[in-house]
Structure 1
Amino acid sequence: MSYSPKHKEQTRQRILQAAATLFCSKGFDRVTLSQIMKQANMTHGAFYAHFSGKSSLYEAALQFATAKGFWARSEKRTELKDRHLKALITRYLSWSRPNSNKPSPLEFLVTDAAHQDETVRQTYQECFDNLVNRLSTILAKRGLNSPQNLAEETVVSLVGTVSIARSITEPQREEFIQRAQARILTRLKQGQ
């Protein structure tokens, strides 16, 4: 049975959404194709009609998550306002809270960054570079010094904060996040 191009694209999007959600919350090694297809409410046959294997799905799913993420959508907004930058930082740090329904592609990649699979590592690098470049563009528009360096330092701080926050308990977690957010925003405001 042959499906229309529209149906095929809808199927691919369902698989990508399911994969992005699972990979972003658990990482590459802790997710199986069975889990992904169950989440997408589809069969394994549908998977192989779109992807050659788990690594190729991982790459596509993280690109999908990055493209659909809050920071990608924010490009349409006024990026020069302080409240906008604060919203970006706050939104990113919200992923460190348990049961967050919008996990960050970079949050779990702390463990995946050193993965042996070259596709996984390249995908991580692309996601990281994309986030740094988007933030650098925002900072450059604000006239800050060394926007690329400041953006990279900020992303590293955000990823580190989320990773550590996930491993500590309440009320220390919330206090830690608030202190980290204040430090990051102060550094960005100073532009150093």
Structure 2
Amino acid sequence: MPYSPEHKIQTRARIVESARRLFNRHGFQQVTIDQIMADAGLTRGAFYHHFDSKDELYAAAVASFATCNPFAAKMSGGGLSVENPRQLATMLVDLYLSDEVLDDINMHCPLYALPSDVARAGLEPQQAYTDLIRGMSEVYRLALKGVRDADRRAESMVSLCVGGMVLARTTNDPGLRRSLRASARHQALSLLQA
């Protein structure tokens, strides 16, 4: 008896979530299909029922962060909506640069967890990464609606958030980790002011 369409969707989601976690922890090159499938509780043969290549899975794992991530869960749980874009943008900056996110590798966004891997990856992962950048920029752009240089400010906010986290992850000095993120947060939030 063949599996139901719902089962296939759930299995694919399980593979993508396992891949996202493992890629965040170890990087694209260090993670094998066998490791991903074992983490998902499946066999290697099942992989090819859902994906044609590791690159395709990598793109799906990066893209999954846009809808199935701790940020989305926390934001929707906070009752914020697009009707209040400035509050949503502020919450995103605060959460993105928080101790909670820095300390929990499973919450790390591919924008700062995987940039070197994506730069060397194929077109599918790069497109998924590009979509994440544009999505995050759009949150900030909506908060800046009516501001003359909204596009520049939104992209600067993305750069500050991602860059602040990239640098914070690279140092073993706790004070510098806090200072880098606090500085990025201050500058990003100042860009929200019209």
The one-letter code matched in structure 1 to 2:111 is L
CA 1:121 to 1:85, structure 2 compared with 1: closer, same or farther past 3 Å?
closer
Query: Residues 11-160 of structure 1: matches in 2 within 5 Å?
Result: 11-69=11-69, 70=71, 77=81, 80=84, 83-94=87-98, 97-140=102-145, 143-160=146-163
1:25-76 superposed Cα distances (whole Å, 9 cap, x missing partner): 4332232212211221111111111000101111112211212232595596
CA 1:44 to 1:174, structure 2 compared with 1: closer, same or farther past 3 Å?
same
Q: Give the Cα separation in 1 of the matches to 2:141 and 2:97.
A: 18
The one-letter code matched in structure 2 to 1:185 is L
Is the 8 Å Cα contact of residues 98 and 166 (structure 1) preserved in structure 2?
no
Two-structure CA RMSD over aligned residues (Å): 2.5
The one-letter code matched in structure 2 to 1:114 is A
Q: Which moved more, 1:43-52 or 1:105-114?
A: 105-114
1:70-114 superposed Cα distances (whole Å, 9 cap, x missing partner): 259559615537543321101111376233331112112321342
Which secondary structure state, in structure 1, belongs to the residue aligned with residue 66 of structure 2?
Answer: helix
Q: When the two structures are superposed, what TM-score results if normalisation uses the length of structure 1?
A: 0.84
Is the 8 Å Cα contact of residues 55 and 121 (structure 2) preserved in structure 1?
no
Question: Paired residue for 1:184, among 184, 188, 191?
Answer: 188
Is the 8 Å Cα contact of residues 14 and 40 (structure 1) preserved in structure 2?
yes
CA 1:4 to 1:116, structure 2 compared with 1: closer, same or farther past 3 Å?
closer
CA 1:134 to 1:184, structure 2 compared with 1: closer, same or farther past 3 Å?
closer
1:168 aligns with 2:171: yes
CA 1:24 to 1:144, structure 2 compared with 1: closer, same or farther past 3 Å?
farther
Which secondary structure state, in structure 1, belongs to the residue aligned with residue 120 of structure 2?
Answer: coil
Aligned length, in residue pairs: 188
CA 1:71 to 1:96, structure 2 compared with 1: closer, same or farther past 3 Å?
closer
Q: Give the Cα separation in 1 of the matches to 2:185 and 2:30.
A: 29
The one-letter code matched in structure 2 to 1:50 is H
Task: Give the fraction of aligned pairs with identical amino acids, expressed as a percent.
Answer: 34
Is the 8 Å Cα contact of residues 107 and 163 (structure 1) preserved in structure 2?
yes
CA 1:9 to 1:177, structure 2 compared with 1: closer, same or farther past 3 Å?
same
Gaps of 5+ in 2: none
Q: Which moved more, 1:5-14 or 1:168-177?
A: 168-177
Q: Give the Cα separation in 1 of the matches to 2:162 and 2:117.
A: 13
Q: Give the Cα separation in 1 of the matches to 2:57 and 2:115.
A: 19
